[in-house]
């Protein structure tokens, strides 16, 4: 016991003198300072042990950050006794990596697909609004009561290109290929007008209505209002097929008159998918639900820009996304600029992403890695 105390006292005196007189003398670990590694080495020397190596890994204990772990000389992110395994190869050890890189790519791909679908829904609103214009329904928006609205709709029957039938307050409009009506639209639309505190609205049932580039099928309540040179159309729908996508929720679109150019769309809706993950015998179907919350879409050169919130439930795991100036390319269907914040802690920066170089910089806990979006590019090519 006395010998140990003497050794410890000698080490303290040595460290004090060398640090006070010559700072680097006695720095056996070579890190430019006197630390516990140097003290261990001095104790081993005083005890007659030359360059002790407790874990027999070939690194002297005084230079070994994990003297009891033969597989590590540095604690790393996971500490001594724990491997620095990086299963998904994203440069972040599993012990601190709470996100599966492969699953992240799947989620980003799904986000891209959902935003493309949202953009197509916005364009679908253009198709619906074009029908409202073609059928002269935009001319009855100044009605002051339900009776007035019904009378105005009936009055335009001879001005439209399709056959209109009336049964009470219900109007059935049938368009055939022979009519060459509304840009060669075919199908049946059943309109039940209504009037509320916000003015007139239309309950519309679309029965396999096919325009040049869009099919509309299902029911929706549509309100339209014109202020100056802007028309605002709001659709509230349940299982409305709109240009190949199911709309469950509300889609509000703004158009510039008189050419009905879409300037903005706001989506508050739910979209459901079944996604196949893996190949061959390992392939499995994953249920995915996407919820758009005040998701704003605006057409821009080369694609569509999104701002707002998107939530993806991927097989029970929920990913909440905040999108900022995120542009989805109309060429390859992936983000090519902007940013996304995932679950409040992971930032995706798409400022360097292109269709030719589909990568994104991902920052997690101060660590930035680059992940591939090549699968998404191939899916939309």
Q: What's the token pair of residue 302?
A: 């080369």
Among 207, 191, 222, which residue's Cα sits nearest to residue 128? 222
Q: What's the token pair of residue 175?
A: 């368009």
Residue holding tokens 């299963």? Answer: 87
Q: In sequence order, which residues have a C-beta less than 8 Å from that of residue 5 and are 6 or more positions away?
A: none
pTM > 0.75:
no
| CA–CA separation, 143 and 79 (whole Å) | 74
pLDDT in tens, 220-230: 999 998 899 99
Q: Vertex 185, ends 180 and 191: CA angle to 5°?
A: 115
Q: What is the pLDDT of residue 117?
A: 83
pLDDT in tens, 306-326: 999 999 887 788 889 999 999
Residue holding tokens 């009055």? Answer: 155
Q: What's the token pair of residue 94?
A: 């599993």
148, 139 in Cβ contact below 8 A?
Answer: no
The helix-helix angle for 2-21 and 36-46 (nearest 10°) equals 130
Which residue ranges of the chain lie beneath pLDDT 70? 1-52, 62, 86-94, 96-105, 374-381
226, 97 in Cβ contact below 8 A?
Answer: no
């Amino acid at each position: 016991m006395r010998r140990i105390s003497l050794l410890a006292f000698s080490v303290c005196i040595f460290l004090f003198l060398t640090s006070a007189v010559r700072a680097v003398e006695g720095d056996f670990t070579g890190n430019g300072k006197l630390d516990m590694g140097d003290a261990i080495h001095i104790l081993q020397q005083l005890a007659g042990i030359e360059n002790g190596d407790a874990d027999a890994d070939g690194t002297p204990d005084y230079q070994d950050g994990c003297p009891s772990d033969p597989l590590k000389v540095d604690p790393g992110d996971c500490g001594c006794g724990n491997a620095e395994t990086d299963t998904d190869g994203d440069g972040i050890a599993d012990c601190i990596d709470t996100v599966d890189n492969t699953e992240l790519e799947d989620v980003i791909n799904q986000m891209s697909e959902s935003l493309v679908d949202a953009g197509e829904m916005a364009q679908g609103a253009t198709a619906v609004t074009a029908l409202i214009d073609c059928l002269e329904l935009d001319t009855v928006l100044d009605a002051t009561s339900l009776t007035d609205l019904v009378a105005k709709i009936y009055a335009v029957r001879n001005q439209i290109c399709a056959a209109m039938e009336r049964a009470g307050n219900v109007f059935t409009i049938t368009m055939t290929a022979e009519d060459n009506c509304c840009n060669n639209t075919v199908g049946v639309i059943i309109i039940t007008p209504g009037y509320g505190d916000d003015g007139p609205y239309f309950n519309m049932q679309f029965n396999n209505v096919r325009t040049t580039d869009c099919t509309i099928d299902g029911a929706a309540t549509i309100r339209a209002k014109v202020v100056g040179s802007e028309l605002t159309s709001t659709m509230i729908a349940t299982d409305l097929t709109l240009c190949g996508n199911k709309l469950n929720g509300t889609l509000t679109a703004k158009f510039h008159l008189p050419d009905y150019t879409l300037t903005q769309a706001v989506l508050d809706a739910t979209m459901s998918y079944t996604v196949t993950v893996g190949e061959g015998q390992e392939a499995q179907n994953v249920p995915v639900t996407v919820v758009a919350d005040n998701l704003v879409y605006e057409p821009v050169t080369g694609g569509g820009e999104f701002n707002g919130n998107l939530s993806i439930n991927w097989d029970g795991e929920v990913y909440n996304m905040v999108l900022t100036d995120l542009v989805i390319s109309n060429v390859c269907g992936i983000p090519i600029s902007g940013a996304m914040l995932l679950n409040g802690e992971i930032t995706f920066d798409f400022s360097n992403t292109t269709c030719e170089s589909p990568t994104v910089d991902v920052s997690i806990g101060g660590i930035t890695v680059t992940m591939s979006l090549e699968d998404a590019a191939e899916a939309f090519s």
